[in-house]
Chains A and B, each alone.
Chain A
Amino acid sequence: MIKFNEKGRGLLSWRRQLIKKQVSSLEICSTYLKKIEQKNGPLNVYLTINQQLLKEAKKADQAISKNPDAFKNQPLLGLPIAVKDNFCTLGLATRASSAVLKDYQPPYESTVTQKLKNAGALILGKTNMDAWAHGSSTETSDFGPTRNPHDTSRTPGGSSGGSTAAVAADMAPAAIGSETAGSIRQPAAWCGVIGLKPTYGRVSRWGIIAMASSLDCPGPLTKTVADAALIYNLLAGPDDQDATTIKSPAPKLPLKKTLPEKKLTIGLPKEYFSLTEKETSQKVMAIANQLKKSGHQIKEISLLDPKISIAVYTILQRAEVSSNLARYDGIRYGQNRTFFGLEALRRIMLGTFVLSAGYFDQYYLKAQKARTKIINDFASTFAKVDLILAPTTPTTALEVGAWKKSAMFGEMQDILVEGSALAGLPAVNLPYGLDQRGLPIGLQVIGPQRQEDQIIRLAYQIETLIHEED
């Protein structure tokens, strides 16, 4: 089998080379275009390539040669980045991998991509995803499934599977994804990359094709913790265009390895470990033991049954989907409603059901009440521990085709991430080696709302521990 996965350089690594004039933006971009040409056929990672990329790279090179301090104002100047297909981008097709939007050219730019462009970043292209972000394997895409670079018979996870595969196959130095409940962390775990899901409202949703608005959360997918912090710092902050963004400014995360300020109490939720394959559980326990040796306190904790989160999430997400997809009526966005794929139909129907007369109290309202319980459960846990450490997914990457066998496939793969998503908590997936099948294992650090700084510091420490082992 051909090996598609490749470590490659991240953003900060390229930037150091750019500053030293050891490479040009044009050379960096050409390298990635070449890799994309070689790998995109078998992996199906990109749906659209930015045809203006090399022109934009030349412009960036001119800006760098004119002003050596240009990176101070534009920290990503001349650096390419991949963007998930659900972010509106002027001049680049935006389809959310759905046939309904196959001809859609957005008339405006999403806040996330605008901020990236303002920072000097160049968009490589738009990456494949589950259609409308409905799924956890990138197989519900109307443009064919993406394959996992570690094993092409397997899925990369989803819904941001194109973005995570792009980073894992070194078809981009970094990428942007979005998570409703797991869509950053789960594919990051299955592809072996870093995925940071910020606190709900930290990063603007303006210009993202909406899935479940009370949960949707954009975030970075990267090769290093520092790159994730770099992108987060550029994206986080209030936005007048999105009334749900947190009004206070987001504190900047450290871009150099910075350890936690104090010894932490780290909770290991026993329910999460008992749902996980042995090999993954053992790996996460091994990291916990190493953290203990470095002085942190490790504590077993108990969280609400994750199956409750699945029920709550399924009800709320389907309800919000049925409302958000109502706008695709064939008048305002091109194709009519017969173009919805099977997964979108299933979700719209279920959402319509839980919101329909006579069932609202029984399902939707009950789920919102249970959501309060989940939030309170995490709050009382964070009164006892600073952060939570757990496996990200119950299994490593599954084979292509697995999703069709279950109506709740996605939810089962996301069982360890849905609770924290419902509570709007920030979390990061960190890759930790491979299992016996050669597939990446992921672990996650979850923190209280607005505590990205604590999470990133512990992530730096774990990243260092993992590197020391290599």
Chain B
Amino acid sequence: MSQKRKTVSVDHLEKLANLKIRAEEKAAIGPQLEETIKYFAILDRMSNLEKEAPTFQVTDNTNIVAEDKAQPGLPREKILPAQKKFFTVNND
């Protein structure tokens, strides 16, 4: 898989993941990502992998639904400090 792949674009991933990364960290992360991705090539050595069904849940739980019944929400006095009546959000 590594032959087809271009070098990872740290800038593109930063944007996709909604991160702001300092330049020196970016310089370190790029090669580390490459190193880790190269390691994944070990999966190409597994035989008949294409035919396997993927596993998303290991204990075979399916279609778990909750009872359609209203539950009480969290009480405001419990989740807000006593003096506050609403949440405030920092806009930085």
Interface residues in A288-332 (C-beta closer than 8 Å to B)? 305, 307-308, 310-312, 314-315, 322, 326, 329-331
Interface residues in B57-79 (C-beta closer than 8 Å to A)? 57-59, 61, 64, 66, 74, 78-79
Cross-chain contact A349 with B29 (CB below 8 angstroms): yes
CA distance A307 to B39 in the complex (A): 9
Cross-chain contact A329 with B18 (CB below 8 angstroms): yes
Taking the nearest CB of chain A, how far is it from the CB of B32, in angstroms? 4
Contact with B along A345-382 (1 / 0, CB 8 A): 11011101100100100110111111111010000000
Residue of A nearest to B53 (CB): A372
Cross-chain contact B17 with A107 (CB below 8 angstroms): no
Give 6 closest A-B pairs by Cβ, nearest first.
Answer: A368-B54, A424-B58, A107-B79, A407-B32, A243-B64, A369-B52
The binding surface of chain B is classed by DSSP as loop
Cross-chain contact A349 with B19 (CB below 8 angstroms): yes
Residue A449 lies at the interface, judged by CB distance under 8 Å to chain B: yes
CA distance A225 to B74 in the complex (A): 38
Residue of A nearest to B8 (CB): A353
Residue of A nearest to B75 (CB): A107
Q: Kindly identify which residue among B16, B56, B89 contacts A214, using a CB–CB cutoff of 8 Å.
A: B56
Q: Kindly identify which residue among A107, A240, A334, A449 contacts B59, using a CB–CB cutoff of 8 Å.
A: A449
Residue of B nearest to A201 (CB): B59
Taking the nearest CB of chain B, how far is it from the CB of A365, in angstroms? 6
Interface stretch among A335-343, A391-399, A457-465?
A: A335-343
Residue A429 lies at the interface, judged by CB distance under 8 Å to chain B: no
Size of the chain B interface, CB-CB below 8 angstroms: 44
Cross-chain contact A350 with B33 (CB below 8 angstroms): yes
Taking the nearest CB of chain A, how far is it from the CB of B89, in angstroms? 5
Taking the nearest CB of chain B, how far is it from the CB of A335, in angstroms? 8
The binding surface of chain A is classed by DSSP as helix
CA distance A308 to B42 in the complex (A): 7
Cross-chain contact B19 with A200 (CB below 8 angstroms): no
Given contacts A240-B66, A314-B36, A372-B54, contact A201 B61 (CB under 8 A): yes
Cross-chain contact B61 with A363 (CB below 8 angstroms): no
Cross-chain contact B8 with A337 (CB below 8 angstroms): no
Cross-chain contact A370 with B33 (CB below 8 angstroms): no
Which B residues are CB-close (under 8 A) to A312?
43
Cross-chain contact A246 with B37 (CB below 8 angstroms): no
Cross-chain contact A247 with B61 (CB below 8 angstroms): yes
Given contacts A315-B40, A345-B19, A375-B58, 10 further A-B contacts (CB under 8 A): A108-B74, A214-B56, A246-B59, A322-B17, A336-B92, A337-B20, A352-B16, A363-B40, A407-B32, A449-B58
Taking the nearest CB of chain B, how far is it from the CB of A279, in angstroms? 28
Cross-chain contact A369 with B32 (CB below 8 angstroms): no
